[in-house]
Amino acid sequence: MEKEKPVEKVRYSDEELQEFKELILEKLAKAKEEYEVLKGTVDLSASNDTEDTSPTFKVLEEGASSLTKEEVSQLASRQYKFIQNLEAALIRIENKTYGICRETGKLIPKERLRIVPHTTLSVEAKNKQ
């Protein structure tokens, strides 16, 4: 008798997808909050009223108040892109294509998805780039 090979999993179960969805929604809420603070800081630095002397950077580290408007804008832009990537990941969850490497077609390990929940590449595919 021939032994059957275990079937390689081609997608995550609905329960697993729900777990990732919750993780992403949590990260998304935090990212949007930070984005609003960054955006507000850029807007504030454009005005010259008394508010621009108040500490508006609770989200960022100590030295943040010395960041230039350009640096804050870059951080805000990067944060916006992160938000878009997280939102795209939510769409992949709805489509049940979340966690599938777009290069290899294999499942991306859960450990990687927990660290980088918006990734579309396995480490193997990322290293080839």
Please report, for the domain that includes residue 20, its CATH number. Answer: 1.20.120.910
Domain ranges, residue 28 = 14-48+67-128
In a domain, 101, yes or no: yes
- Tens digits of per-residue pLDDT, 10-65? 899 999 999 999 999 999 999 999 999 998 887 776 555 544 444 444 445 445 55
Total domains in the chain come to: 1
In a domain, 2, yes or no: no
Q: Output the pTM of the full model.
A: 0.76
In a domain, 110, yes or no: yes
- Tens digits of per-residue pLDDT, 66-117? 668 888 889 999 999 999 999 999 999 999 999 999 999 999 999 999 999 9
State residue 89's pLDDT score: 97
Task: Say if residue 2's pLDDT is above 70.
Answer: no
State residue 57's pLDDT score: 47
In a domain, 80, yes or no: yes
In a domain, 95, yes or no: yes
In a domain, 58, yes or no: no
In a domain, 113, yes or no: yes
DSSP string, the chain: -PPPPPPPP-S--HHHHHHHHHHHHHHHHHHHHHHHHHHHHHHHHHS-SGGGGS---SSS-GGGGG--HHHHHHHHHHHHHHHHHHHHHHHHHHTT-TTB-TTT-SBPPHHHHHHSTT--S-HHHHHH-
In a domain, 18, yes or no: yes
